[in-house]
Structure 1
Amino acid sequence: MSDTLKQQVKCPQCGCLNTYSPTNPSRPFCSERCKLIDLGQWANENYRIAEETQSIDINTLSQ
């Protein structure tokens, strides 16, 4: 595969363009540093997956 066909993606952490290929072990991040920063944010619970909330009908609870 030539260099012109390799996909360029933005690093999810810093936004720098980098090549998304097997030669980049930190992909989709541009570096190990950005990868570890992202991991730290997950560990500190800075990122959260939204939970679907269920609506409760108060009228059915009293029956």
Structure 2
Amino acid sequence: MSQHDQRPLTVACPQCQKKVVWSEKNPYRPFCSERCKLIDLGAWADESHRIAGEPALDETNIDEWLARAERGDER
């Protein structure tokens, strides 16, 4: 079966769930439009979207933490 015989891959837009053809002709893939892409980007920017994991290390207190570790203080 050649590539031309296959149906194009469709995916759901991560923002609005509209079916989108995954193609180089769609500059916004996997999104359906620039609007959905920007809405998603905004959600990441305001931290509505997050990747689960440990909180990031706040380096402003690193000297204090190192001093505590050297003293054996686990506060």
After TM superposition, the score normalised by the length of structure 2 is 0.63
Task: Looking at secondary structure, tell me which structure has more helix per residue.
Answer: 2
**Distance of 1:22 and 1:36 partners within structure 2:** 19
Percent of aligned pairs with the same amino acid = 55
Q: Which has the higher contact order (CA 8 A, sep 6+)?
A: 1
SS of 2:39's partner is helix
Of 11, 28, 31, 2:33 maps to 31
Computing the radius of gyration from Cα coordinates, the structure with the larger value is 2
CA RMSD, 1 decimal: 2.1
Task: Looking at secondary structure, tell me which structure has more strand per residue.
Answer: 1
* 1:14-51 alpha-carbon deviations (Å, 9 max, x no partner): 00001000000000000000000000000000011111
Structure 1 spans left out of the alignment, 5+ residues: 54-60
After TM superposition, the score normalised by the length of structure 1 is 0.74
